[in-house]
Amino acid sequence: MSPSAQLVIVANRLPVDRVDEPDGSRRWRRSPGGLVTALDPVMRANDGVWIGWAGGTETDLEPFEDDGLSLVPVPLSSEEIEGFYEGMSNATLWPIYHDVVAKPEFHREWWDAYVTVNRRFAEKVVNVAEEGATVWVHDYQLQLVPQMLRELRPDLRIGFYLHIPFPPAELFAQLPWRRQLLEGLLGADLVGFQMSGGAANFVRLVRQRVGHKTHRDLVYLPDGRTVRAAAFPISIDAAGFEELARSEGVEERATEIREALGEPRKVFLGIDRLDYTKGIIARLRAFSELIQDGELDVDEAVFVQVATPSRERVEQYRILRDEIDRLVGRINGDLGKIGQPAISYLHSSYPREEMAALYRAADVMVVTPYRDGMNLVAKEYVACRYDDAGALVLSEFAGASDELRQAWLVNPYDINGMKTALLDAYRAPAKETSRRMRAMRKTVLRKDVTAWARAFLSGLAEVPPDHGKQVKPPRAS
Ligand code: F6P
């Protein structure tokens, strides 16, 4: 039987990963993401329910509880995983929403799968949400859910949050289903974005492509409802990361990591999902050129690059993996010495403890995406540097650069500029790095993920029961 709730979180994935034990039994392990940490207390306080895909193809998973959280799985068939998840979500929308860093593909059958799966999510919500409940829908995989829900359940208060960038009108316009996507989002009362630029892009597109009246952050719909579009920059569990970083186990592990690397003078670090938006190749190239130019020496500096496996059945991701493998092999072959590779490359995912130890071990953190909604790795690094040491090299095109102004900001398309920034960060006197780090730490610790969730949910709570029907557009002057 489905549980019922006054608060329903809807995301593509459930906040747990399945672990298959050697004896054939199954258990669930909480995913390490910040979203779960942020929503956990809100979920508990409101007896909330989380609806999402469990990651496999089982069709018979019943709603279940894990550590007091009520979870409702949405099944996906292998064809749906291909069309909805790998296809429409990650080979069409993902590249379009990230500045077309890779070429998007458009397939009508992928769109059909996207509609079918979004409807399935909406129907699950209908079964679970109590009268007048608050429903918070997350991310680009589920942009049609708000409108589908609105039609099925006009009593609900619906919020939508986009975790990735919302593209400029000129790129969004390429989508054959642009109008349906905009109308899908307009089913929400509040649409949240990482940056104010994304919110402005959305409002402009709604005016241009759907023809609704808009004023500042409000859209006025023909049925009288108003929809607000605003920025809510996401963050991390900063105090949690700092506490972890301060733990003895993590400090010991950080020392071990530096020893294993041969006690270099400086450690550069990159940690990313293996994704073409992250700029991994360009950053490794910049680092290797510094060695070739004689500015850095493998006896003194090493680059640790962690690339977490991701979306491995999507072609662009496979191609990228091969490219990185080849590049790392070439750089190490050309520039490394026995026991001293220029790049220490790890294709693996690690628990939070190991990530914290890596952050503690790194002198220069390098985060150079071509486009990124926020980039939480940059904020995690800052949270772990309670000693005010460590330099952050950060792309201007990561949302985080808006808040972390004291980082060494770079344009990842400019390899020479990146080389200069890497070197400046490497050579910066301790006084300068700690001045910058102190300022960034203030920002990250003040605006954590709990503040983010609270801000969004209070925005949603302000929506009047008539969904803003009393609010009238200002008269044209
Ligand atoms: O940043 C967007 C996002 O969908 C996150 O929500 C998620 O943690 C990450 O990308 C990985 O996505 P996937 O669910 O495709 O593995």
Q: How far is CA 260 from CA 177, 253, 380, in A?
A: 51, 10, 23
- Could you tell me which of 12, 448, 458 has the C-alpha nearest to residue 192? 458
**What average pLDDT does the segment 67-84 reach?**
95
Span from the CA of 187 to the centroid of ligand 1 (angstroms): 23
Residue with tokens 């023909």: 222
| CB-CB neighbours of 218 under 10 Å | 18
Percent above pLDDT 90 for the chain? 87
Q: Quote the CA–CA distance of 308 and 270 in Å, as a whole number.
A: 11
Q: Which atom of ligand 1 is nearest to the CA of 310?
A: 16
55, 278 Cβ separation under 8 angstroms = no
Q: Quote the CA–CA distance of 402 and 397 in Å, as a whole number.
A: 9
pLDDT number for residue 416: 98
Span from the CA of 235 to the centroid of ligand 1 (angstroms): 15
Q: Quote the CA–CA distance of 218 and 131 in Å, as a whole number.
A: 26
What is the per-residue pLDDT across 1-23, written as a single tens digit (0 to 9) for each? 678 899 999 999 999 988 888 88
What is the per-residue pLDDT across 337-364, written as a single tens digit (0 to 9) for each? 999 999 999 999 999 999 999 999 999 9
pLDDT at residue 476 greater than cutoff 60 = no
| Of 469 and 304, the one with more pLDDT | 304
Question: Residues 247-254: contacts with CB within 8 Å, 24+ apart?
Answer: 247/353, 249/353, 250/353, 250/356, 250/357, 250/360, 251/357, 251/360, 253/353, 253/354, 253/357, 254/357, 254/358, 254/360, 254/361
Q: Which residues line ligand 1 (CB under 6 A)?
A: 12-13, 33, 139, 163-164, 310-311
pLDDT at residue 33 greater than cutoff 70 = no
The band of 434, judged by pLDDT with boundaries at 50, 70 and 90, is very high
The chain-wide mean pLDDT, for the chain, equals 95
What is the per-residue pLDDT across 157-200, written as a single tens digit (0 to 9) for each? 999 999 999 999 999 999 999 999 999 999 999 999 999 999 99
What is the per-residue pLDDT across 90-107, written as a single tens digit (0 to 9) for each? 999 999 999 999 999 999
- Full set of structural domains in the chain with CATH: 5-234+453-462 (3.40.50.2000), 238-446 (3.40.50.2000)
Neighbouring-strand partners of residue 92: none
311: helix, strand or coil = coil
What is the per-residue pLDDT across 34-59, written as a single tens digit (0 to 9) for each? 677 778 878 888 889 999 999 889 88
Those residues whose C-beta lies under 8 Å from the C-beta of residue 31, and which sit 6 or more positions away, are 13, 15, 16, 17
- In degrees rounded to 5, what are phi and psi of residue 457? -70, -30
Angle between helices 178-185 and 145-152 (to 10 degrees): 60
What is the per-residue pLDDT across 237-294, written as a single tens digit (0 to 9) for each? 999 999 999 999 999 999 999 999 999 999 999 999 999 999 999 999 999 999 999 9
pLDDT at residue 469 greater than cutoff 90 = no
Span from the CA of 214 to the centroid of ligand 1 (angstroms): 31
Q: Quote the CA–CA distance of 390 and 356 in Å, as a whole number.
A: 13
What is the per-residue pLDDT across 103-143, written as a single tens digit (0 to 9) for each? 999 999 999 999 999 999 999 999 999 999 999 999 999 99
What is the per-residue pLDDT across 390-429, written as a single tens digit (0 to 9) for each? 999 999 999 999 999 999 999 999 999 999 999 999 999 9
- Could you tell me which of 375, 393, 352, 392 has the C-alpha nearest to residue 241? 352
Span from the CA of 385 to the centroid of ligand 1 (angstroms): 26
pLDDT number for residue 477: 43
Element (H, E) at 243: helix 238-246
**What average pLDDT does the segment 219-248 reach?**
96
Counting ligand 1 atoms within 8 A of each CB, the residue from 9, 10, 13, 88 with the most, and so the one to mutate, is 13
- Residue located nearest, by CA, to atom 8 of ligand 1: 33
Span from the CA of 333 to the centroid of ligand 1 (angstroms): 33
pLDDT at residue 475 greater than cutoff 90 = no
pLDDT number for residue 370: 98
- Could you tell me which of 475, 471, 477, 39 has the C-alpha nearest to residue 219? 471
Neighbouring-strand partners of residue 137: 10, 160
